[in-house]
């Protein structure tokens, strides 16, 4: 069984597609979330060459995760945990914002508030290269995002899409629970399940 919050290593039983000599090894850690499942932080390496893949994966104890989540920017949602696996996408339709979570940096774990702050920082970069008409729109977007962070009104919709079903939005009142009596009832990932996750991610990223 995959033990919580301990770093473990598993052989994926796959030949490295880059050097065709080494085998792929996955180093991972599982953090359990009561009433949800777990989050797997993983790094896949070749034991011969320099190949390295990093990602984060949400796993539900109830089966497959949804392909799409929608969250409004209300105060009670700002602490929701977002598990953004590589290949997923964030959309804010009210502001015409689309953000792809690429595999270059691996996945990301943040809160809804943290995501808004990150997007503000990214949009600010556009100010330097924007023409006057575009600049006004960029300033308006930044103003709206800041307002929703400081005085949430629910006027924005954060949409998380992941066709691989490895990303999740975990409500604040669920992911912050740490009661030991609840954790003992949690799903544990066996070695076969962990290996399957690693093999699927390795195949997807290396076939692109």
Spatial strand order of the sheet with 89-92 comes to 68-72, 157-161, 89-92, 97-100
Q: What is the pLDDT of residue 205?
A: 74
How is the chain split into domains, by residue range?
1-61+186-208, 64-177
Q: What are phi and psi of 41, to 5 degrees?
A: -95, 125
**CATH fold for the domain made of 64-177:** Jelly Rolls (2.60.120)
Per-residue tokens: 4: 């919580």
d(CA 182, CA 4): 14
d(CA 120, CA 143): 9
Q: Does the pLDDT value for residue 182 go beyond 50?
A: no
Report residue 195's pLDDT band, with 50, 70 and 90 as the boundaries.
confident
Per-residue tokens: 31: 């953090």
Most confident of 7-16, 45-54, 157-166: 157-166
For the ranges 36-45, 57-66, 176-185, 193-202, the lowest mean pLDDT is seen at: 176-185
- In the chain, the N- to C-terminal Cα span, in Å, equals 31
Q: What is the pLDDT of residue 55?
A: 92
pLDDT tens-digit profile of 197-208? 888 888 887 765
User: Please, are residues 32 and 19 in contact by the beta-carbon 8 Å criterion?
Assistant: no
Most confident of 13-17, 45-49, 67-71, 199-203: 67-71
d(CA 180, CA 183): 5
d(CA 106, CA 43): 9
For the ranges 21-30, 60-69, 126-135, 194-203, the lowest mean pLDDT is seen at: 126-135
pLDDT tens-digit profile of 66-116? 999 999 999 999 999 999 999 999 999 999 999 998 765 578 899 999 999
Closest CA to 1 of 24, 30, 26: 30
Report residue 63's pLDDT band, with 50, 70 and 90 as the boundaries.
confident
Opening angle at CA 74, ends 78 and 162, nearest 5:
65
Chain mean pLDDT for the chain: 85
What's the mean pLDDT in 15-31? 91
Q: What is the pLDDT of residue 159?
A: 98
């Amino acid at each position: 069984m995959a033990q919580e919050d301990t770093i473990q290593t598993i052989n994926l039983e796959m030949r490295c597609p880059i050097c065709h000599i080494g085998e792929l090894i996955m180093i991972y850690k599982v953090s359990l979330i009561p009433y949800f499942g777990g989050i797997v932080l993983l790094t896949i390496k070749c034991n011969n060459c320099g190949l390295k893949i990093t990602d984060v994966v949400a796993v539900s104890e109830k089966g497959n995760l949804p392909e799409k989540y929608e969250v409004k920017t209300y105060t009670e949602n700002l602490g929701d945990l977002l598990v953004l696996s590589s290949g997923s996408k964030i959309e804010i339709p009210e502001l015409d914002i689309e953000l792809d979570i690429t595999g270059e940096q691996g996945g990301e774990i943040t809160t809804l508030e943290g995501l808004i702050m990150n997007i503000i920082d990214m949009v600010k970069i556009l100010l330097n290269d924007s023409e006057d008409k575009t600049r006004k729109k960029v300033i308006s977007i930044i103003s709206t995002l800041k307002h929703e962070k400081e005085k949430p009104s629910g006027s924005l919709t954060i949409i998380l899409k992941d066709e691989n079903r490895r990303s999740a939005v975990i409500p604040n009142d669920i992911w912050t629970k740490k009661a030991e009596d609840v954790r003992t009832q949690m799903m544990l990932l066996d070695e076969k399940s962990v290996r399957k996750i690693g093999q699927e991610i390795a195949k997807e990223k290396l076939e692109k």
